[in-house]
């Protein structure tokens, strides 16, 4: 019987954090710290907290995720997404414990034809992507046992995300236009959390894969328009109203931050090294929605 772990999770109310709090039950003591206890906008304040808690594992599930807002507050985005993860990694390395951090498809510019691999050169288009890349680089510089898990298009039944926004708007409106030329894989926060648990268990049991950067997103691909269609089909299947949908190009829906057109992620390295496979995005969506009813 493995000894219970003492796991520090930064972030309390975010989608991934809430999914982790559910998925990691039974592994040990979960010490979940929100902004009041751990303010990532003041990165140096992290050190005394970690040293007092003395965890066996640190998971950073907190981030500045407001992509458009980041364009107008780059210093704040860099502190939370760039500097703070590096401080966590330094403290983890000093304690000799693993550090798990979540990154994003936004570190890439979306110009590649195929799926992005871990060896592809990052080239973020905006402040959010640059801040997340800075976090990756700070973690790599700190060294130690770390996992940087890049994911994409995260949604869940909590917080603010595309799924919940679409469920509301599709029932309120008669017609909607949705971007159809950005391609990726919607990834359920529950999938991310369950995959993280498998990796933690392998490390705990003395059979970890290689440390480093991995892609972790659902398998398959769709557009935001296709994702909206699937959400609409789920609504109509239970007798709820649904707006008609019209596909549009990104150019018809300008935003402060540019989005990568291709966010497809190759997750084969994660499967090879850690034995973690990802469900099809549509299957995961149905599993998520089943918990809503």
Neighbours of 292 (CB within 10 A): 11
CB 14 within 8 A of CB 156: no
Where b means 16+ CB within 10 Å and e means fewer, 224-246 reads: bbbbbbbbbebbeeeeeebbebe
Measured CA to CA, the distance from residue 97 to residue 202 in angstroms comes to 14
254 contact partners, CB below 8 Å, separation of at least 6: none
Structure tokens at 83: 């500097």
Q: Show which residues are catalytic.
A: 128
Q: How many angstroms separate the CA atoms of 163 and 281, rounded?
A: 13
- Cα gap 210→230, rounded to integer Å: 36
Q: Left if phi > 0, otherwise alpha if psi is -120 to 50, otherwise beta: which for 143?
A: left
Question: Reduced to 3 states, what is the DSSP secondary structure of residue 190?
Answer: helix
Q: Residue 30: beta bridge partners?
A: 7
Task: Tell me the Cα Rg of the chain.
Answer: 19
Q: Are strands 154-155 and 222-223 parallel, antiparallel or unpaired?
A: unpaired
């Amino acid at each position: 019987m493995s000894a219970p772990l003492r796991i520090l999770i930064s972030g309390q109310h975010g989608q991934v954090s809430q999914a982790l709090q559910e998925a990691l039950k039974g592994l040990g003591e979960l010490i979940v710290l929100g902004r009041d206890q751990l303010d990532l906008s003041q990165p140096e304040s992290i050190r005394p907290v970690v040293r007092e808690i003395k965890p066996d594992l640190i998971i950073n599930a907190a981030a500045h995720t407001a992509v458009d807002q980041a364009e107008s507050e780059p210093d704040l985005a860099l502190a939370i997404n760039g500097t703070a993860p590096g401080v966590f990694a330094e403290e983890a390395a000093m304690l000799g414990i693993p550090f798990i951090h979540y990154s994003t498809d936004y570190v890439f510019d979306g110009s590649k034809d195929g799926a992005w691999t871990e060896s592809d050169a990052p080239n973020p288009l905006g402040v959010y992507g640059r801040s997340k890349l800075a976090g990756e680089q700070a973690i790599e510089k700190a060294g130690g046992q770390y996992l940087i898990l890049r994911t994409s298009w995260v949604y869940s039944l909590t917080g603010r995300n595309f799924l919940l926004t679409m469920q509301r708007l599709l029932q309120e409106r008669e017609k909607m236009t949705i971007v159809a030329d950005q391609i990726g894989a919607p990834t359920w926060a529950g999938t991310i959390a369950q995959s993280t648990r498998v990796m933690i268990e392998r490390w705990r049991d003395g059979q970890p894969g290689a440390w480093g950067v991995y892609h972790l997103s659902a398998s398959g691909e769709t557009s935001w328009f296709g994702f909206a269609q699937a959400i609409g089909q789920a609504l109509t299947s239970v007798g709820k109203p649904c707006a008609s949908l019209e596909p549009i190009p990104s150019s018809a829906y300008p935003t402060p931050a540019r989005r990568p057109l291709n966010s497809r992620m190759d997750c084969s390295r994660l499967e090879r090294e850690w034995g973690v496979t990802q469900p099809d995005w549509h299957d995961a969506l149905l599993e998520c929605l089943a918990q809503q009813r």
